[in-house]
Amino acid sequence: MFNSISRRHLKLCDIRACATRFQSSNSLKQGICNGKSETTARMGRRMGLLLSWLQRSMVGTSEKVGSDQKKQGLLSIFANHCSFVTGQRLRRAFQVGELYSNLYSERTRWTLVGSIWRRLQSKHASTGKLMAALAGVFLWEDEKVRDEELHRCGLELQAMEAAKNLSASSDKKAWGPMETGWEVVMEKKNFKVWRRPIEGSYLYEYRVLGSYSDVTPRQFFNVQLDTEYRKKWDSLVLKLEVVDRDVNTGSEVVHWATHFPYPMYSRDYVYVRRYSVDVENNLMVLISRAVQHPEVPETQEYVRVHSYQSKMVIRPHTSFDENGFDYLLTYSDDPQTAFPRYCVSWMVSSGMPDFLEKLHAAALRAKNLEVGIYDYASVVKSNDNKHQHSQDCLGDSSRPGQIYA
pTM: 0.62
**pLDDT tens by residue, 4-35:** 444 444 444 554 555 555 455 544 444 444 55
pLDDT in the model for residue 64: 54
Over range 140-165, report the average pLDDT: 85
Domain ranges of the chain: 2-65, 104-137, 144-404
Q: Considering only CA atoms, which of 339, 329, 325, 334 is closest in space to residue 306?
A: 334
Q: Looking at residue 123, what is its pLDDT?
A: 56
Neighbours of 52 (CB within 10 A): 12
Judged against a pLDDT cut of 90, whether residue 175 lies above it is answered with no
Segment among 79-88, 177-186, 248-257, 312-321 with least mean pLDDT: 79-88
Q: Provide, rounded to the nearest whole percent, the portion of the chain with pLDDT above 90.
A: 29
Q: Is the pLDDT of residue 256 over 80?
A: yes
- Output Rg (C-alpha) for the chain, integer angstroms: 39
Cβ neighbours of residue 4 under 8 Å, at least 6 residues apart?
none
* Confidence category of residue 400, pLDDT binned at 50, 70, 90: very low
**pLDDT surpasses 80 at 198:** yes
Lowest mean pLDDT among 70-84, 257-271, 388-402: 388-402
Average pLDDT estimate for 306-332: 93
In which band, very low, low, confident or very high, does the pLDDT at 108 lie, cut at 50, 70 and 90? low
DSSP 8-state class, residue 103: H
Run of H or E residues at 240: strand 237-245
Mind giving me the DSSP string for 204-228? EEEEEEEEESSS-HHHHHHHHH-HH
Asked which of 82-96, 159-173, 303-317, 320-334 is least confident by mean pLDDT, the reply is 159-173
The pLDDT score that the predictor gives to residue 29 is: 44
Dihedral angle of Cα 96, 98, 100, 101, to the nearest 10 degrees: 160
Q: What is the predicted pLDDT for the residue at 267?
A: 92
What's the confidence (pLDDT) of residue 8? 47
CATH top class, domain 144-404: alpha beta
**Among 213, 247, 242, 215, which Cα is nearest to 226's?**
242
User: Please, what is the Cα angle at 251 between 326 and 193, to 5 degrees?
Assistant: 30
Of 147, 151, 131, nearest in space to 139 by CA: 131
Looking at residue 225, its pLDDT comes to 92
What is d(CA 163, CA 155) in angstroms, rounded to the nearest whole number? 12
C-beta separation of 192 from 329 below 8 A: no
pLDDT digits (tens, 9 = 90+) for 46-103: 666 665 665 565 555 555 555 666 666 777 777 777 777 777 777 777 777 777 666 6
Residue 252 in this model has a pLDDT that exceeds 90: yes
Q: 215 with 202: CB under 8 angstroms?
A: no
What pLDDT, on the 0 to 100 scale, is given for residue 394? 37
> What pLDDT is stored for residue 255 in this prediction?
97
Residue-wise pLDDT tens digits, 324-351: 999 999 999 888 776 666 666 666 666 7
> What is the chain's mean pLDDT, rounded?
74
Distance, in Å, from the CA atom of 187 to the CA atom of 161, rounded to the nearest integer, reads 16
Tell me: pLDDT of 317 over 80.
yes
Q: Is the pLDDT of residue 386 over 50?
A: no
- 48-62, 157-171, 205-219: range with highest mean pLDDT: 205-219
Contact predicate 256/242, CB 8 Å: no
Residue 118 is predicted with a pLDDT of 58
Question: CA–CA distance from 40 to each of 21, 48, 113, 384 (Å)?
Answer: 12, 12, 87, 105
